[in-house]
Structure 1
Amino acid sequence: MTQTTPVSSRRQRNALVKAAVDFVTRAMVDGSYRTFLPLRRLADDYPNACFERRGAQHRTNVFCSNDYLGMSNHERVVAAARAALDEQGLGSGGSRNISGTSLYHVELEAELAALHGKESALVFNSGYVANDEALGVIGKLMPELVVLSDGKNHRSLIEGIRKSGLRKIVFEHNSIPDLEAKLGALPAEAPKLIVLESIYSMDGHFGPLEEVCRLKHRHNAMIFLDETHGVGVYGRTGAGVADSMGLAHEIDVIQGGFGKAHGATGGYVAGDAFLVDAIRLMAPGFIFTTSLPPLVLAAALASVRHLKQSNVERERLFANVSLLKDELRRHRLPVMDSPSHIVPVLIGDSFRCKSVSDALLREHGFYVQPINWPSVQRGQERLRVIVSSAHAERDIRAFALALARCMAAAS
């Protein structure tokens, strides 16, 4: 017997689909429509990968991966993942609360707490979830708290603050005078939380941590720091930017992830034991989901431990970053001011940005994903160029020359 959808239900669904069509059409018209390039990463040849075009396989050299240190292919990391897979199988079998906590969780969380000099740490399924859930819980624990949030904070921080229900004051990006003025306008006895990043992923800027720590004491505030792009890359043991500056003890809650320098996936927060325990007990995005599988945790643990002992990967990365910046400037390309390992090249138009990216891939075999709105403001479209420790000097020089040619052609 054939079932029919009621007319009113069809109308609602048609209205929903029409709204989706209108949105997608607007994105295509204004240049913010996103396309993805399906890649087959090559474990024995990173940062090269393969992709398919018109039925044929092509190779590309990837210049936009967050796998900064090539740890996703490191022999120790891969071996740890394989051993965990052979021993424990693929899935975790449940949520952290119901059979899904493995010994790897326990070991990894202890390792992270020690890495950051904190009492405790908690692993989440992603860095986004770690920010979103931790901030949400902080708001429930201390509803009178006032949040001061950097104007260029990551979406996960913005959504976490929104979820918290706390009063939010946005200060100008990296502006200590603006932050100080807004702190000073609040009652001295009001509890305050400054939320910022150690490295801003679209611009490559460092957060002004020394000055923020001084303001913390002057205005009786706390600090929540996103170290997603700093952990693994900065500090003698890979503990991040704050640690490299001798400021880790000043940070009340540190958030990090395994999906960048550590070459795995997942995120975490570290801080006081009772606070971390409260997040564990209260965060719905932690409680009501299947936990990370053992092989991912084993890989992350092996990567964290290796980068605590080895500076080889970091030294190679920074040498390559220096060469990349020199080559881009030698070709007089509009490199944005970035003191970190993230190197944005300003294009300023979404269609031109995609055109340059397409030409790099099609004509020269280099892949850099265009960065358009809403990741950056309109008029600030860019190529976020990221070199890894595994890139060869000849490829970096060839990439800079190819980019110069593609940008000249697209102008």
Structure 2
Amino acid sequence: MVLSVGRLDWITEELENLKKQGLYVTIRKLQTAQGPWVVVDGKRVLNMCSNNYLGLAAHPRIKEAAIKAILDYGVGAGAVRTIAGTMELHEILEDKLARFKRREAAVVFQSGYNANLGALSALGWGRKDLVFVSEELNHASIIDAMRLAGAPKVIYKHVDMEDLKKKLEEVKDYRIKVIVTDGVFSMDGDLAPLPEIVELAEQYNAIVYVDDAHGEGVLGDHGRGIVDYYKLHDRVDFEMGTLSKAFGVIGGYVAGDRESIEFIKQRGRPFLFSSAMNPPDVAAAIAAVEILEESDELIKKLWENTHILQKGLRDAGFDLGNTKHPITPVMLYDEKLTQEFSRRLFDEYNIFAQAIVYPTVPKGKARIRLEPSAAHKPEDMKYVVDSFTELARKVGFFK
């Protein structure tokens, strides 16, 4: 006799297993605009886990730009870019981004994820003479893009230039070699050694593609990103960026030379098969770029808050890894402890800081990832340090 079971019972079992292992993610609900203090699940809390680095998500000038665009252009783009979805706003934004990044051209996508998916899959689509040489800790969008492309790939160890050289030697006979790396690694806040990567790329005649999602608005002149930070504009082939973090809006883009960007427009699947970025988002992004071009004051405030937070936590005894960025991974290691720590920060200290656990990071590397912003005040940072220290003693993390 065969017992009848529900077709989806296994999903319930999997969810229960995630909870037992401390890997179940509690998704909380914001009820106010993104900012340093927000209302989450009915409670006013200090927001320490947003990518809104410069506090632009609710900036009056950006909101005004979005509202005006709705009045002038409507809400939706109405079509994909290659049919009837390219509005003049899209081209204005692309021109501004290209100038901002000191490149010849740029192409805008609906998100940073789609930008990587579109550009990398376009470069590698079905090619057997191309190989991706990918950093071990690259973002999931890069991994998915390489899968979509179907081209061969090899993985080199995290920031290990000897291993990169070894992998390039192994694939030296491929006609096209594309080194792909995050500029800033989103879980640890450490930086890719771009000068060394570029030197190896030139030695092996390889293309360099940098995902600068967490670098722009944070590093370089007026937040132009990690390529600008290292002064490598003429030696890095592609820079991908997102408009949803420091820029405070939504969308993504890829910048490079004019012909390469035109090729991505012709072959990038999210560009070809998904409706264009909506007019109010495009207008808001234009305003964000203009704000960064005009002043670096917000970037200075971001780094002031970062120094207060990170020095305080290190002095208290927390391991923050090798971060060189406002991304502040407070290592707690154990998944269940990290989930409890996050919950108690919220319940007892009014601090909103989500647990980061497997599969976002490897098992045994759980952490609370803090992200200060330019909108925070120095006293906010000091409160976080004091709260983390007190709670660490309560849970037995500090003896």
- Shorter-chain-normalised TM-score: which range? over 0.9
Q: CA deviation at 1:117?
A: 2.6
The answer to whether 1:35 aligns with 2:26 is: yes
The answer to whether 1:89 aligns with 2:74 is: yes
Match of 1:125, as an amino acid?
Q
Matches within 5 A, 1:77-226: 77-140=62-125, 142-187=127-172, 190-226=175-211
Larger deviation: 77-86 or 296-305? 77-86
Matches within 5 A, 1:240-255: 240-255=225-240
How many residues were matched structurally?
A: 394
Q: Secondary structure of 2:255's match? A: strand
The percent of aligned pairs where both chains have the same amino acid is 32
Q: CA deviation at 1:149?
A: 0.5
Q: CA deviation at 1:306?
A: 1.2
Q: What is the rounded CA distance, in whole Å, between the counterparts of 2:271 and 2:57 in structure 1?
A: 25
1:84–1:294 contact (8 Å) kept in structure 2: yes
User: Pick from 331, 352, 359: which aligns with 2:337?
Assistant: 352
The answer to whether 1:397 aligns with 2:386 is: no
Q: 1:25 maps to which residue?
A: 16
Unaligned runs of 5+ in 1: 1-10
Q: Secondary structure of 1:308's match? A: helix
Q: Secondary structure of 2:154's match? A: strand
The answer to whether 1:388 aligns with 2:373 is: yes
Q: 1:48 maps to which residue?
A: 37
Larger deviation: 133-142 or 353-362? 133-142
Q: 1:60 maps to which residue?
A: 45
Spell out, residue by residue over 1:21-52, the C-alpha distance to the aligned partner (whole angstroms, 9 max, x if none). 23222212222111111012346xx3111123
The CA RMSD over aligned residues, in Å, is 1.8
Match of 1:126, as an amino acid?
S
Q: 1:4 maps to which residue?
A: none
| TM-score for both structures, normalised by structure 2 | 0.95
Q: What is the rounded CA distance, in whole Å, between the counterparts of 1:16 and 1:212 in structure 2?
A: 49
Counterparts in 2 of 1:220 and 1:410: CA distance versus 1, 3 Å: same
Q: CA deviation at 1:141?
A: 7.2
Unaligned runs of 5+ in 2: none
Q: CA deviation at 1:59?
A: 0.3
| TM-score for both structures, normalised by structure 1 | 0.92
Q: 1:7 maps to which residue?
A: none
Q: What is the rounded CA distance, in whole Å, between the counterparts of 1:101 and 1:188 in structure 2?
A: 40
Q: What is the rounded CA distance, in whole Å, between the counterparts of 2:9 and 2:257 in structure 1?
A: 49
2:122–2:149 contact (8 Å) kept in structure 1: yes
Q: What is the rounded CA distance, in whole Å, between the counterparts of 1:198 and 1:40 in structure 2?
A: 32
Spell out, residue by residue over 1:101-153, the C-alpha distance to the aligned partner (whole angstroms, 9 max, x if none). 22110100111122223222111111011101211111127431111110000
Q: What is the rounded CA distance, in whole Å, between the counterparts of 1:187 and 1:362 in structure 2?
A: 55
Counterparts in 2 of 1:97 and 1:187: CA distance versus 1, 3 Å: closer
Matches within 5 A, 1:246-395: 246-395=231-380
Q: What is the rounded CA distance, in whole Å, between the counterparts of 1:115 and 1:235 in structure 2?
A: 11
Q: 2:60 maps to which residue?
A: 75
Spell out, residue by residue over 1:1-31, the C-alpha distance to the aligned partner (whole angstroms, 9 max, x if none). xxxxxxxxxx9x9665133223222212222
Match of 1:49, as an amino acid?
V
2:217–2:246 contact (8 Å) kept in structure 1: yes
Q: What is the rounded CA distance, in whole Å, between the counterparts of 1:89 and 1:188 in structure 2?
A: 51
Spell out, residue by residue over 1:362-404, the C-alpha distance to the aligned partner (whole angstroms, 9 max, x if none). 1111110100011100000001111101111111101111111
Q: What is the rounded CA distance, in whole Å, between the counterparts of 2:158 and 2:61 in structure 1?
A: 39
2:172–2:204 contact (8 Å) kept in structure 1: no
2:126–2:149 contact (8 Å) kept in structure 1: no
Q: What is the rounded CA distance, in whole Å, between the counterparts of 2:290 and 2:232 in structure 1?
A: 21
Larger deviation: 307-316 or 134-143? 134-143
Q: Secondary structure of 1:76's match? A: helix
Q: Secondary structure of 1:223's match? A: strand
Q: CA deviation at 1:345?
A: 0.5
2:109–2:252 contact (8 Å) kept in structure 1: yes
2:110–2:252 contact (8 Å) kept in structure 1: yes
Q: Secondary structure of 2:28's match? A: coil
Larger deviation: 230-239 or 345-354? 230-239
